[in-house]
Structure 1
Amino acid sequence: MSSNTLISNINKHIQENFWLYIISILCVLTGIILGIYSVKYMGQSERNDLLNYLANFVDPSNTKGISYKAIFLQSVKNNLPVIVFLWFLGLTIIGMPIVIIVDLLKGFTVGFTFSFMISGLGKSGIGIAILGVLPQNIIYIPCIVFASVASMEFSIMLLKNKFSKQWTSSISGRIVNYSVLFIIIIVLLFIGIIIESYIAPYFVKNLINSMGSVTK
């Protein structure tokens, strides 16, 4: 498949599911905003615990023994099940409300992480957040949005077919195409996982070492 054909198919998919994309993007953005504001209203005890963890994380003496493999495995554990879960929801007919919740939670996680790093570390936290959180989420968020739309689209299709009693043998072919689409999304997701596991920690480590100590 040529790049022009791929771009054409993506544009067609966006046009055909425009409102589903709007819903998914708005849910992610809403989650980000909620995550940002949740930091402001955290209890002092929880805030202190997280600040102590964050201070330990950005201690220059702790950056020499970074286990990239451990980060990779944790990143896979955190992200791959989400995509698989979205795939499953698309097959359940009634999965659309849960897909929306998944989008909200993903946005909340990103917003909370950014906000807390900046709130806890001040100007230093901006650089750490940009290098340590932003790069992989440039991949993760589009993957989540695309997977969410595909899941909702397939769920709606199944629902329409069920009510119109158009269940045929062709449904198995559609499930195969639907699953192949998610395999492509997973491949793209692993680009973000590699960035999070091997590239972002390298830049964060160098930033922390160059700052010596991180203070607000």
Structure 2
Amino acid sequence: MSENKVLGLLNKHVQSNFWLYIISLLCICTGIVLGMYSVRYMGSFDKTDLLSYIKNFNTAINSGNISYKSIFSETLKSNVPILLAMWFLGLTMIGIPIILIIDIIKGFTIGFTISFMVNGMGMKGMMFSLLGVLPQNIIYIPCFILASVIAMDFSMAILKDKSNRQWTSNIWVMVTSYSLSFLLVAAVMFIGFLMETYLTPNIVKLIIASVGSIII
């Protein structure tokens, strides 16, 4: 399949599901805002505990003890279950509200992380967020939005056409096509997995080398 054809199909999908894209984007943005706002209400004990975790991460990076295998494993655990959950929910007729909640939670995680870094470490935290958190999420966020819309669109198709015999007879073809769409999203997300595993730790290492410890 040529690049122009892929872009054409994606453009058509965006146009036909425009409002689903808007709703999914709004949910992620809402989650980001809630995540950023929640940092203000954290207790000092919680902040100290998280800063201690970051300090340990900083020490490991600074000493050169980077376990890429462990980072890659944690990256998969953080993202693949979400993608699988969206895929499964798209096969149901009641999955749309839960998919939107997942979008909010994903946005909350990103907003909380960035806000906590900036709130707890000032300019160093901002630098860490821009170079260590955002790069992979530039890939993750569009992928999760696309996955959300594909799942919601399929779920609505089931609701709309469940009494259509022709659609029912082709259900396995539709499910296969739907699943392949998710595999394509996962393939793109794999780039983000590699960035988070190999690029992010080394960016953090460069930050440490340039400005010293990321902990104030």
Task: Please give the TM-score of this superposition, normalised by the length of structure 1.
Answer: 0.95
1:12-161 paired onto structure 2 within 5 Å: 12-59=12-59, 62-161=62-161
Distance (Å, rounded) in 1 between the aligned partners of 2:39 and 2:25: 22
Distance (Å, rounded) in 2 between the aligned partners of 1:215 and 1:176: 48
Pair 110,61 (structure 1): closer, same or farther in 2 beyond 3 Å: closer
Determine if contact 2:33/2:108 at 8 Å carries over to the other structure.
Answer: yes
How far the C-alpha of 1:56 sits from its partner, in A, is 2.8
Pair 205,172 (structure 1): closer, same or farther in 2 beyond 3 Å: same
Matched to 1:159, the amino acid is L
Unaligned runs of 5+ in 2: none
Distance (Å, rounded) in 1 between the aligned partners of 2:61 and 2:54: 13
How far the C-alpha of 1:214 sits from its partner, in A, is 3.2
Q: 2:191 is matched with which residue?
A: 191
Distance (Å, rounded) in 1 between the aligned partners of 2:173 and 2:99: 23
Distance (Å, rounded) in 1 between the aligned partners of 2:120 and 2:87: 36
Pair 31,61 (structure 1): closer, same or farther in 2 beyond 3 Å: closer
Determine if contact 1:60/1:213 at 8 Å carries over to the other structure.
Answer: no
Unaligned runs of 5+ in 1: none
Pair 3,52 (structure 1): closer, same or farther in 2 beyond 3 Å: same
How far the C-alpha of 1:203 sits from its partner, in A, is 1.0
Quick check: 76-85 or 145-154, which moved more? 76-85
Determine if contact 2:90/2:152 at 8 Å carries over to the other structure.
Answer: yes
Q: Using the aligned pairs only, state the percent identity.
A: 51
- Work out whether 1:10 is the aligned partner of 2:37: no
Structure 1 segments, 4+ long, off by >3 Å, are 59-63, 163-167
How far the C-alpha of 1:2 sits from its partner, in A, is 1.3
How far the C-alpha of 1:102 sits from its partner, in A, is 0.5
How far the C-alpha of 1:166 sits from its partner, in A, is 5.6
Secondary structure of 1:64's aligned partner: coil
Pair 173,70 (structure 1): closer, same or farther in 2 beyond 3 Å: same
Pair 11,215 (structure 1): closer, same or farther in 2 beyond 3 Å: same
Distance (Å, rounded) in 2 between the aligned partners of 1:170 and 1:134: 41
How far the C-alpha of 1:93 sits from its partner, in A, is 1.2
Distance (Å, rounded) in 1 between the aligned partners of 2:61 and 2:14: 47
Determine if contact 2:62/2:208 at 8 Å carries over to the other structure.
Answer: no
Determine if contact 2:62/2:205 at 8 Å carries over to the other structure.
Answer: no
Pair 127,2 (structure 1): closer, same or farther in 2 beyond 3 Å: same
Pair 61,82 (structure 1): closer, same or farther in 2 beyond 3 Å: closer
Q: 1:171 is matched with which residue?
A: 171
